[in-house]
Every structure is written in structure tokens, then in C-alpha cells.
Structure 1
Amino acid sequence: MELVVLSVPDCPHVTALDDVLAAVLADRRDVRVVHRQVTDQAQAEREGMRGSPTLLVNGIDPFAEPGSRPSLSCRLFRDEDGRVLPTPSGAAVTAALDTVRGPEPVWAKLPPRLRETLGVDGRRRAPEDGGQRAVQQAVLRGIAATGRLPEAALLDRVAAGFSTTAAPVLATLHRRDLLRLDAGGHITAAYPFSVLPTRHRVTPAGGVTVFAMCAVDALGIPAMLDTDAEIHSTTPDGAEVSITVSAGHPEADPAAAVVFTGASSDTGPAAEVCCGQVNFFTSRAAAARWAAEHPGVPGSILSLAEAYQLGREIFGALLHT
């Protein structure tokens, strides 16, 4: 189950909501909490934020008042006794967890081996320890902004805030398979980005073209950056697929395009085990044909909507604090 806390920047009630969630979820390891900041009305409408803070349970707002509209305004709630509070009560949140049944996450539909290799369940987000998340985010933001790796001096300045240097932090991120280093310690990939050319090219709205590690990563880039994007990819059988992501909705040319998500039977980092096996195809038949020709790469065929949602599940919160 996923809980999403939507709020405007510096919302004074988010801390109180976090305290409520910490108490309710103390014994619930099956629940993941994601925070997303909402900065304008268009995003509020897209995300479904009916005032700050809004709590979504598997994408559903169980506390929405009838007739309420998306808004950036301050939100208030009533508890079981009718008192006005800045957050839902613990009892209300507990009831919501017990009653809301949203759609099953896409990652839950994947085979366990593939699920582990793809790094879902939040594995693509570095922990805060030792500046890992700060350095990871600095790398991702640098690539997103310029299409190139950030300067080593910038990463050292970020790491210095945690009394270390970039090199050991990058090495730890490499061991955790959150990015990849070559033998010389240079970054070759920072999921979802590839520093080296791949078959997947992504151009965020108003941004520079970047390469993605795989098809799901390509779809995860606009979700991570919270922006529209154009994606152009060459399928393993040589066809071209174009994807337009607008307001969180992907559309493909050809319209029947799907994504095959597969992984070899080997163990190792995602870059070696599955990134080359997660690709767009022009149709489900084309993907099935390729899968039949590669029996050593078990996997699943996802619709474009499912693949986009999977990209969002893996990468959507990557740049959030």
C-alpha cells in the first residue's frame, strides 16, 4: 500500500501529519509513504490535492468532502467528535487503511526475481545516511538540467555537508545499485539516466534530451521530474516507437505499443541483468514474438499505462526530500 502526502511548500501541518502516520504505521511494514510538493493549481488538479495537506491512500483521497475541488489552500479535517484539526486523526487514518482498496501496484504483478532486479519497493531511492541521498539527487538533477554529469567539485561540496567526499559516497551508491561506476570510478549510469547512449531518448518539456537505461526508466523520467516529455525509442527488432507524456498520461505512436519487462537468470546490477531486456515494442504480438525467441529472459508484457505507472512507482519520489 502507498500513502502520498501532497502539500504546498513549507506547509506547517505536514510535520503533524507525519507524526500521525508514524504512530499508525508503527507495525505496518507493508505501507510506503511518499511526499510530493505541489506548487501550482495545474499540479493540484493533476495530483488530486484538495488543500494542503492531502493524504492519498493508494491514489484515493478517503477524506474528500463531497463537491470539494483541487486547491492550494490550507486544508482542515474533522475528527470523530466533530473537532476541527489540521490533519486526519489517527483513528481516521487507520480506518482509511482498512477500507480503501485502490488498484494493485504494477510492481506487485511482476515475478519476484524481476521485481527485485528492477529495484521497486523504493530501492531506487538512496537512504539519507552519510549524504547518499543528497549526492544521488545532485547527480540526477545535474543530468536532468544539462544532459551531462555534474562537476566533481559540485558533488564534493554536497558530500562535504556530511563530512565526507563524493568518491566514497558514489562507491556506496554503486554497491547499492543506485548508480553505476566504471573501473575508473566514473559514473556511467544513474537510474533512470544513462550517461552512455541507449535506444531510449527522452526530452522533458523545455529541457535537454537525455538517455534512459530502459523503457520503464524512460517513462519514469517525466514522472520523476513532474513534467511532460517526448520519448523516442528503437525496439529490439528495429522499429521506432514515440511516446508523448502529457499531464501524466502517455500516448504512443503506434498506439498499440507495449513494454516488455524482462530479466536474465543471472544475478547482478539492473544495468547488466534487465535494463537491456526492458524495451518498447510496437504491439503485444511483437513483444510476445521476441519473448518466445528469448526463453532465457522471462518477463511480463505491460500496457503503456502500466509501464508508465511502474516508472512512477519506482522513480516518482526520487527527487523529493
Structure 2
Amino acid sequence: MRITVLTVPDCPNGPVVTERITAALAGRAAEVEHIEVHEETDAGRWGMAGSPTVLLDGTDPFAVAGAAPSVACRVYREGGQVDGAPSVAALRTALAEAGLGEAAERNCCEEDLLGLVGRGGRGRVAPVEGGLRAVHRAVLRHFATTGRAPGVALLEPVAAAAGRTARDVLAELDREDFLTLDEDGQVRAAYPFSAVPTSHRVRIDGGAEVFSMCAVDALGIPAMLGRDAVISSTDPVTGEPVTVTSTGGTTVWEPESAVVYVGRRGCSGPAETVCCDTLNFFTSRASATTWSKRHPDVPGEIVGQDRAEELGRAVFGPLLATEAPDSPSAP
């Protein structure tokens, strides 16, 4: 099967739909091509009804009768919810209806690693609608600048622009696992940042020193902010330090043998409880193996440095990309 992803340049939902397609494929073979469309005349030629559009062997499975070719943002509606990309479940259904065989049955704890940290394959770029993306980005920017979570009052002007209260928007972001709130309704975490101390510190060049929720989150911060950073963590088995220095897009790991263990404690729930404390840096593969054997209740996988960095970039790189599209009028 050939899967074509049509987007306008810098579409923030392009990486989201790509991540969801990967999750929906679940390891099945398919040719995935990405095409940037600049003009409405090209949109008509390709059959693009907004950005992003997914074609399965040249056919849009989410086509709406009467929809005109467009290079504007595309809105997908499913179960009363509005999103900027089709869900993993909708993509799975479309793939099956297009004739792609079912994936072999897998244990939920053997899901693609991107899905593990990326809201079950749905991605961490919040929808524009209802002020979700604007408030979410405001929270992330505040963390990056101050190292702390913003108070609810600071977010009121951003939420008010969408005709909502900050508490209402934050509650929705919490329900959808873009962030987590404490019992008082204050932000406790906004992946990749944590408002409470963890074993992963990130010193941002030109910014603050912050705590991250896990090793993959820490690795995603330089990509998300486009800044140099120094990550300091500790091997849970040996107690020895692990340092990752990101400079100009190049990383140096100390020690050179360091790896990341990506595990999970269950099959559903927010990332904070399912996997955040099981995604850790280790000084070596042997140390990570030791930890895994001591925790048979946490199935997972040891990943090398390149793969760990790739996960961080894929999940968190798009969160603050193209700052302008905080409203439905821009892709």
C-alpha cells in the first residue's frame, strides 16, 4: 500500500499525522511518502482537502462530500471531538477498509515506542480549537523561561482569547494528557517539564534549569526549544552520573556507553503514571539489563543513543514549531 501525506510547508500537524500513521501501521509494511503542497491548484491536482490530508493508494478515506481543494488547516471530527489529524483508531479502520491486513496481535506493552510517550500515538501537539494549543504553548514557554509552572492567573488572558477560563482549558488539557494538574488545579507537569523535582535536570542555554519527566522528555527539550542544553541524570542502579550535552544539534553522551531504558507499568492511563518513572538513563546496557531484571513488572526495551534522541525529537520537536498557528485560520 502507498500512503501519501499532503501538507503545506511547516504544517504543525504534519509530524502528528506521521506519528499516528506509524502507530496505526503497527509494524506492517507500507510505502509512506510526504508531499508539500503550496498552491490551491496543486491541492486540486493531488486531491488535498486541507493540511494534512492522507491518501491511501491515491484515495482520501476521510473525504467529505462537496469539500473543495484547500491549503488551509484541515479539521477532523470524530466522536464529537475535533482534531487537526485523524486519530490512530480512525487510521487503523481506514487501513483495514483499504485492504491492508491486520497486524499480528500484540501485547499492549509491546506498542511502538513513539506511541508509548506520544499519547498512544495521538501526538503531543494540542489542537488549536478551544484555546488548547495557545494555553499549552504558554505553559511550555513559561517552564522554559523560568523553570517553574505558571500560575492559573497568568494563563487567564490566553484562555480568554478563546472565550474560556484558564481552569477550564487546563482541565481539558489534563484529561487529554497534554499536562497534569495537582489537587488544587495547578500545573504539576507539562511534558516534557516537571514542576516537582525528578532525577533528570536540564540546563537550557539562555533559559532556566528545569526538571524533565523522564529521559526521553529530557532529550526532547533541546529539539523543542531549538537551544543548546545540558542534561544531568543518574543511573538508578549504580548511582553514577549520566550527562548529555547538546550543542548546535550535536550531542555528546558521558559515559559513551550510556543507554536509555523505555518501559511501562500498564497499558492505559496518563504517561505520568504509566511510564514516566520507567524511562531512565543508564551508564551501560549491562546496568539497564540489571534494572530490568529487578523489575519484571516493567516490560520494556533498551534503546541506544541515536534511537533515544530520535524519540525525543519526534515527540517534542513539533510542540513549539511555527509559533503562529494558534488559531484555526492558519495551518
Tell me if TM exceeds 0.5.
yes
Counterpart of 1:286 in structure 2: which amino acid?
Answer: S
**Contact 2:152-2:186 at 8 Å conserved across structures:** no
Offset of residue 251 of structure 1: 1.3
More RCO (CA 8 Å, sep 6+): 2
Flag the 1:308–1:4 CA change in 2: closer, same or farther, 3 A. farther
Counterpart of 1:203 in structure 2: which amino acid?
Answer: R
Offset of residue 115 of structure 1: 4.6
Offset of residue 6 of structure 1: 6.1
**Consecutive unaligned residues in structure 1, runs of 5 or more:** 8-12, 31-109
**Contact 1:261-1:302 at 8 Å conserved across structures:** yes
Superposition pairs of residues 59-138 of structure 1, within 5 angstroms: 111-112=110-111, 115-119=114-118, 121-138=121-138
Offset of residue 267 of structure 1: 2.8
Counterpart of 1:177 in structure 2: which amino acid?
Answer: D
Q: Distance in 2 between matches of 1:236 and 1:199?
A: 9
Asked whether 1:16 is paired with 2:45, we answer no
**Contact 1:219-1:311 at 8 Å conserved across structures:** yes
**Contact 1:122-1:314 at 8 Å conserved across structures:** no
**Contact 2:139-2:190 at 8 Å conserved across structures:** yes
Q: Secondary structure at the match of 2:230?
A: strand
Offset of residue 3 of structure 1: 8.1
Counterpart of 2:110 in structure 1: which amino acid?
Answer: P
User: Identity of counterpart residues, as a percentage?
Assistant: 48
Specify the alignment match of 1:26 in structure 2.
53
Flag the 1:6–1:153 CA change in 2: closer, same or farther, 3 A. same
Q: Distance in 2 between matches of 1:29 and 1:140?
A: 35
Q: Distance in 1 between matches of 2:40 and 2:262?
A: 36
Offset of residue 247 of structure 1: 2.0
**Contact 2:7-2:37 at 8 Å conserved across structures:** no
Q: Distance in 2 between matches of 1:256 and 1:303?
A: 9
Offset of residue 268 of structure 1: 1.6
Asked whether 1:222 is paired with 2:233, we answer no
**Contact 1:152-1:166 at 8 Å conserved across structures:** yes
Offset of residue 117 of structure 1: 3.7
Residue by residue, what CA displacement relative to the aligned partner does 1:257-312 show, whole Å, maximum 9, x if unpaired?
00000001253211011000000000111111111111111111111111111000
Q: Secondary structure at the match of 2:302?
A: strand
**Consecutive unaligned residues in structure 2, runs of 5 or more:** 11-35, 58-108, 326-331
Q: With structure 1 as the length reference, what TM-score do the two structures score? A: 0.67
- The number of aligned residues is 237
Flag the 1:176–1:285 CA change in 2: closer, same or farther, 3 A. same
Misfit runs of 4+, over 4 Å? 1-7
Q: Distance in 2 between matches of 1:308 and 1:15?
A: 31
